[in-house]
Structures are given as structure tokens and as C-alpha cells.
Amino acid sequence: MVGINWLRPEGYLRLRAMYAKTSNLGVKSNPIAVEHLGLVEYRKAWEYQREIQAGVIAGESPNTLILLEHPSVYTAGRLTQLDERPKDGTPVIEVDRGGKITWHGPGQIVGYPIVKLKNGNDVVGFVREIEIALINTCQEFGVNAERYCERTGVWIRDAKGDRKLAAIGIRVAKGVTMHGFALNVNPDLSWFKKIVPCGIPDVEVTSLSVELGRNIAIVAILESLTRNITTALDKVAE
């Protein structure tokens, strides 16, 4: 296993596993590398994503799924408007993904699938598979999440109103993805009140813990999330 000690704070577990795809002949090939990195500062993780993406583009690195948490940070996609940002001058990191502004922090699991797409132009199909995988994970924990055809991400839609559970924002270069998704497990949701999350003013943000009325730990969902996301990637990645 290749180490990246500069990215790993002391005490964090780094786990690397290989999820193999099955060809039509039943032969395992093109494994997906899965890395659980713990808590990682956003800019370091972004730099690491770019390194892996360059390797995948060059054919020197395997398709990779990174799962981690970030210290509290706001990131703004290319479509973010001025009035959607924090009004108190809180710093925001400008990033090269689609979508608008969001928050990352402890209690939110972030996934960065860095894969070469079978169809490099089918970005919508890739996003839909990620949405389905996140929905499957939520349903395994008893949360009835769903897609919202007019809005990207994973949602709760019931008599209480629309609530966003997971956000998705990606970038594709030469057919290889980076950035990804953020699923709220047990974060402090008050951070979202400083911004217009994903540029949608009329929707609340929620978490698995809020919806279930009990605390859910990040570690409790890792197996389910890893399994569902790698299954989705198997469908869209070369």
C-alpha cells in the first residue's frame, strides 16, 4: 500500500482496499482503490485528488474512491452568487467544480470518486448513479430518501417539506471525474445557516441523525456507503 503521510494527521486510520470489477468472462479486473482517510484539511485533499486524477488520466493510477471528513470549511462552485455567501466575511474556498456554495465539516462524510468514465460525456448518468447509491445507503438505515428530478442530490420529501440530505458537485477532465458528494450523517447543521446551501433558499438541510432521531456515527455507515458507491462506479467506470 502506498503511503501519503503528509495527508494523514497523527492518529487517523488510513485504509486502502481494492474492489474488483467483474468482466463478462467472470474475471476480476480494473479494481477500484478505496481510501478511508479520516479528517483531512480541504486544500490537502483537493491537491491529492488532482494527483490521483492526473494518474488515472495517464493510465498510471487505478480508479479511486476517497472517503473522508473535512474540518469546517465553505467551498464555492463556479455558479455561486455573491448573495449566497456568508454575510460576515467567513472565508470561502473557490473550487473548480460545478454547483454552488456548500459547507463541509465533521459529521459529514465526503466522497471523491476519481474514475475514468466509460462514456466521458455522460456526466448526468454518473451523477444519477451516485444519487442512487446514496439513496440505497440511506434506506439501509431506515431513511426514505429520494431523487428530486429538478434538483441534484439526495432529498427527504414529505409532509414536513423538502430537506436536503446529500449534495453532489463534480468536475470531469479528459473523461475522468473528481470532487464528488457530501452526505450529512451527524454534523452541526447550524453552519448551513450562514449560506444559501447549493443556491436553494427555500429548502432546509438535514442529516441521517436528525431524520432518525438518534446519533449515527460516521464509522457505522462506512461499509454500506463503500459497497453502494463502488457498485455504482462499477456501472459507469472503465
Q: Are 226 and 111 in contact (CB under 8 A)?
A: no
Catalytic residue among 95, 198, 203, 233: 198
Cβ burial of 142 (10 Å; 0-12, 13-18, 19+) is exposed
**Quick one: which of 2, 128, 114 has its CA closest to 50?**
114
Q: Which residues of 19-37 are buried (b: 16+ CB within 10 A; e: fewer)?
A: bebeeeeeeeebebbbbbb
Residue carrying the nine cell digits 486544500: 43
Residue pair 180/97 in contact by the 8 Å Cβ criterion:
no
Residue type, 11: G
Residue 198 appears among annotated catalytic residues? yes
Q: How many CB atoms lie within 10 A of CB 135?
A: 20
* Catalytic residue ranges: 198
